[in-house]
């Protein structure tokens, strides 16, 4: 679960607001808000997305990814993925 912040995959960033790790399901960088809820305040949202961009640029190449904010599996805890357009669903893409 996102709330537990279990280190099941490689972690790339952590601070007081969020953590970023490879998504356990799709294997792409994912930012997770440390507080529980679907809508972080604007300042925290900007911070999280900025940190995700920094990690995604390093992992997938600058401009080589797109932001996916749709919370499919866990809609009540904010998280967002950096998707590789060549493999939009991570390791499960064909």
The pTM of the whole model exceeds 0.85: yes
- pLDDT at position 94, please? 42
- pLDDT at position 93, please? 47
- pLDDT at position 17, please? 98
CB 63 within 8 A of CB 36: no
CB 21 within 8 A of CB 47: no
Nearest-angstrom CA–CA distance, 41 and 30: 18
Residue pLDDT, tens place only, 40-89: 999 999 999 999 999 999 999 998 999 999 998 899 999 999 998 887 66
Q: Is the CA virtual torsion 59, 30, 89, 6 positive or negative?
A: positive
- pLDDT at position 46, please? 98
- Spell out the domain ranges in the chain: 11-92
């Amino acid at each position: 679960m996102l709330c537990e912040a279990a280190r099941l995959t490689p972690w790339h960033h952590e601070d007081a607001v969020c953590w970023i790790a490879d998504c356990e399901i799709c294997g792409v960088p994912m930012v997770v808000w440390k507080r529980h809820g679907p809508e972080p305040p604007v300042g925290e949202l900007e911070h999280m997305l900025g940190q995700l961009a920094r990690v995604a640029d390093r992992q997938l190449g600058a401009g080589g990814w797109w932001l996916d904010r749709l919370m499919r599996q866990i809609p009540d805890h904010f998280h967002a993925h950096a998707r590789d357009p060549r493999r939009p669903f991570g390791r499960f893409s064909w």
